[in-house]
Amino acid sequence: MAQPTLVSNGRHDGRAADALRPIRFENGIAPHAAGSTLIHWGNTRVICAVSIDDVVPRWMKEQSVPGGWLTAEYSMLPYSTVDRKARDISKGRLDGRSSEIQRLIGRALRASIDLTKLGQRTLWIDCDVLQADGGTRTAAITGAWVALNLALKKLQSLGKLPQWPIVEQVTAVSVGIVEGRPLLDLCYVEDAGAAVDMNLVMTATGKYIELQGSGEESTFSREELESLLALGRTGIDQLVELQNAVL
């Protein structure tokens, strides 16, 4: 199937510059997980699931660190892209992109939780991309925060969580400059043609957790950066509402 092309005076899917793609959550997609959701973000699909181990990493025990831990794993399934993506296990190592993204997911979610209130347990966040059309890392973070809340509510209902540990609501979105225009939430076609590409991870209160931005064979001014940050904040506010609605 031929890939759609950018339209010079608009976006190929007809969205406004400050519009998100259609987003919805399908909770409970993985029955054996403590909490799970399938996030549909345009044509991107990511399963986010949380498993719980009642142990903490060895380094926490050795250093007498109180509380629990949260870590994440990320993978793109072989059929998630147009051309089959080989599994990491077939290469004998985790590829650099997957490693970078799963570290980002872990950092983002650890910023949302008070680990000392978690108890002596580890939360494993698994994000598996079923279909990729741009924004897989932002979809993974946004969906994983929903799955995390579902898992913690289950722990709370079982009487295993005396204090609610969530301290910040976290979500993420992409922005970029394509054909001279700042755009919110880039799909694959837009991302591939972007002069500037940026991912924002933020809290609901407007605090930044991480900014990942670069000029793709280009540069950008302070004014352009400020316009992208403002555009991203509008997307974050919408995503916060969507997360709240599904929870």
Point out which residues pair with 215 in neighbouring strands: 196
For the domain 23-246, what is the CATH superfamily, name and number?
GHMP Kinase, N-terminal domain (3.30.230.70)
Half-sphere exposure of 235 (CA within 13 A, CB side): 34
For 104, the token pair is: 């980002």
**pTM value?**
0.93
Strand spans (E) along the chain: 23-27, 35-41, 44-53, 69-76, 122-131, 170-178, 181-184, 196-203, 208-215
| Amino acid type, 70 | L
pLDDT (tens digit per residue) in 160-219: 999 999 999 999 999 999 999 999 999 999 999 999 999 999 999 999 999 999 998 789
Mean pLDDT in each 10-residue stretch from start to end of the chain (247 residues)?
Answer: 44 91 98 98 98 96 95 93 80 80 97 96 98 97 98 96 96 96 95 94 97 89 95 98 97
Domain ranges of the chain: 23-246
